[in-house]
Amino acid sequence: MDITETLKEQIESNPILLYMKGSPNQPQCGFSARTVQALMSCGQRFAFVDVLSNPDVRAHLPAYANWPTFPQLWVDGELIGGCDIVCDMFDKGELKTLIDEAAAKHGVAE
């Protein structure tokens, strides 16, 4: 499977997916840490891919997504954005609604 197919499969098979540096328990950059904190505060499970240990993903996702930086939050196959967008949505209460709806739709609600 080539990297484009891998990315597509990851995004389509995970209703809530975060491409980040490090892991939720050990983020490797401040932007990933802030994004994880906002996402975890929503109370739903989410998948993640550590781009530092997946160099092909790190190299190809920016072009695939047309988004140059990490982290990247994908919900229901759609790119939501990076740290600033996710944190802004969290502050406005929009992120929890989006995450809860995606989790309920896919039967993964906590």
What is the tens place of the pLDDT at every residue in 71-99? 999 999 999 999 999 999 999 999 999 99
Residue 18 included in any domain: yes
> Does 34 show up as a binding residue in the annotation?
no
Residue 58 included in any domain: yes
> Taking 90 as the threshold, does the pLDDT of residue 110 lie above it?
no
CATH for 34: 3.40.30.10
Average pLDDT, stretch 35-61?
97
- pLDDT category at 68 given cuts 50, 70, 90 is very high
Residue 110 included in any domain: no
> Does 87 show up as a binding residue in the annotation?
no
How high is the pLDDT of residue 1?
Answer: 75
Count how many domains the chain has: 1
Range of the domain at 50: 3-105
Check: CB of residue 46 under 8 Å from CB of residue 17: yes
> Does 83 show up as a binding residue in the annotation?
yes
Residue 54 included in any domain: yes
Q: Write out pLDDT tens, residues 11-47.
A: 999 999 999 999 999 999 999 999 999 999 999 999 9
Sign of the dihedral through C-alpha 7, 85, 25, 110 = negative
> Does 84 show up as a binding residue in the annotation?
yes
> Does 29 show up as a binding residue in the annotation?
yes
In angstroms, the CA 21 to CA 30 distance is 9
Higher-pLDDT residue of 98 and 109 is 98
Residue 63 included in any domain: yes
Bridge partners of residue 27, in order along the sequence: 22
> Does 58 show up as a binding residue in the annotation?
yes
